[in-house]
Amino acid sequence: MIGHVIGVDAGGSRTRVIVADAAGETLSTAEREGAAIKPGEIDRSASIIAAAVRDALATIDPTLGEPRALCAGVAGAGRENERRALAEALHAESLAEEVLVLTDAEIALSDAFGDEAGIVLIAGTGSIAYGRSPSGTLERVGGWGPTIGDEGGGLWIARRALSIVAAATDGREPATALVGAILTAAELDDVEALIPWAAGATTSQLASLAPVVVASAEAGDLRANALLGLAAEELVLHVRTLARALFVDERAAVQVALGGGLLEPGSALRKRVEHRLKSAVPGSKVHGVPIVAARGAVRRALHAGAVAEETAG
């Protein structure tokens, strides 16, 4: 029998852990700061994930013994060498008998559709779309990281908002409520103070400005509204590209699930994305059930544990 397993969703801002029994029922949860992989910082990601896992394990019955398997879906884990390095680092932490490292998009797809065809679009600190075709082909669009990609994600929005604030202060752009809103969020009194603040800010601190843009857009600020619209266009383009690659074209019937902090049900950006999908990807049908990526990781951990048992048997 498999015993209990661990599912981890490690993003840019938060790391979430679910410990579940053999039936997939939650035994405990925990949360820590983001553990997304950054170049050269595998040990940092492993340390945060291990600490979060131990937080969750500390609250369950110790007589249950060692977890059978751990699956970690990690933002930035798109390259095989980094997945392997993180898996080795987590295995060295002695957290579970089996360790599997996937991308955050893979565990989101698993939670949304299991083994069925569909596309997941995630917009949190970063952005990525991941899909499975009716024949089982898997493909990714986006997820290139904050330096050269992640269009439509929180960090991408925040950086563009800071540029807008600078331009508006110069007079190169019209006045915008983003200036005051971002200064308030950063707890600063002067626009020039944004220079050292942004230079020293963590990824999570920068990405926290994205909700400020959303709030300003909802309050009627034209520049914030335009930026949010651009973010929606970029995100929809991810889905359109995958629909063409995996489902013949964008008019074919395709299930689409939306996840990540910026695309939570009822959010302003999600509403824009859903509206734009109707015309840009007319065959799409938005999956209404919220994605719980850590739950998808539990599913994959249970599968990994079952495969290991069969192999051992």
pLDDT band at 6 (very low <50, low <70, confident <90, very high): very high
* Residue 278 domain flag: no
* Residue 166 domain flag: no
Q: What integer is the mean pLDDT of 266-279?
A: 94
* Residue 68 domain flag: yes
Q: For the whole model, what pTM was predicted?
A: 0.85
* Residue 93 domain flag: yes
* Residue 22 domain flag: yes
Query: How far are the Cα atoms of 107, 290, 291 from residue 114, in angstroms, in the given order?
Result: 9, 14, 12
pLDDT band at 11 (very low <50, low <70, confident <90, very high): confident
* Residue 101 domain flag: yes
Q: Tell me the CATH number at 9.
A: 3.30.420.40
Containing structural domain, residue 305: 5-110+292-312
Q: What integer is the mean pLDDT of 44-49?
A: 95
Sheet holding 127-132: strands in order across? Answer: 138-142, 127-132, 118-123, 254-259, 284-287
Question: How many domains does the structure of the chain reveal?
Answer: 1
Nearest to 235 by CA among 294, 169, 149, 308: 149
Query: How far are the Cα atoms of 13, 133, 161, 206, 253 from residue 259, in angstroms, in the given order?
Result: 14, 19, 22, 20, 20
* Residue 300 domain flag: yes
Q: What's the CA gap between 281 and 274, in Å, rounded?
A: 10
* Residue 90 domain flag: yes
pLDDT higher than threshold 80 for residue 289? yes
pLDDT band at 193 (very low <50, low <70, confident <90, very high): very high
